[in-house]
Structure 1
Amino acid sequence: GRILREGTKVAILNFGARLGECLKAADELAGFGLSTTIADARFAKPLDTDLILRLAREHEVLITIEEGAVGGFGSHVLQLLSDNDALDGGLKLRMMVLPDMFLDQDSPNAMYAKAGLDAKGIVTRVFEALGKDVAAGTVKLA
């Protein structure tokens, strides 16, 4: 994997084509004072264990985002973190995947937005992980 942007509070680990939305989310989070690392896994297997364990060790929140289903890349990350006791220190891990439901046909951007896999959805998920409320209109991205 590779790190595109270094931060200290939140780490977003992308697998797939949502990287642009991750970068937009990091910009938005910076506006709220949340320093965010953006990492691109690039490959699901083999997992970049050093990168993933570093992200878990150095951040309060770790978000995985993929265009896959439950049981995919994020689940493998969870297993790695569990096997290495990386969840014992209070890491807030959240996995973002396509929902296990039918999405009506629409433009790809609209479908990703409905699934929460856009910048606004990522920002909202970070706030939820931190136990903060994102009031309507607080997240500026459309």
Structure 2
Amino acid sequence: MGIEINNETFVNEKEILSMDFIADYLKLIAEPSVKPSTFKRYQSSVKNRLIAKFGHMKSKNISGKNISHYYHELLKEGLTEEFIQYLHSILKLAYKTAVDWKYIKNDFMDNVKSPNLMKKDIETWSIDECNTFLNRMRKQKIIYLCYTI
């Protein structure tokens, strides 16, 4: 600790709850930097997913393991990898800010991996199915124009 003080790298980690810190992050950092519609989505996701899970914990007590375990829970719940990556990006920015504001000493999010996107099989129509569809749409002339232009 003495070396950290001499090097001016000492951080007295704050006793702030995650819900309070993330509220500050949203208001001071996220809101001014995104569109209002994006911000509303941030707020909803943060409230329903992040604060619901971690809001009662002190920011300094959350670890990468906590977050990785939560991602696993969300996958089991049936949430998509895309949505979990969205939450991951919010957490990364929020906890980078926590380090900048000297609320926490280390950015544990640097060591947290979000789930990989799984390739999804895409089913497409065969030529016969496309022709059947277009033939049926041809009978409805206005709709048919939408599909042939």
TM-score (norm 1): 0.30
TM-score (norm 2): 0.29
Q: Which has the larger radius of gyration?
A: 2
Structure with more strand by fraction? 1
Structure with more helix by fraction? 2
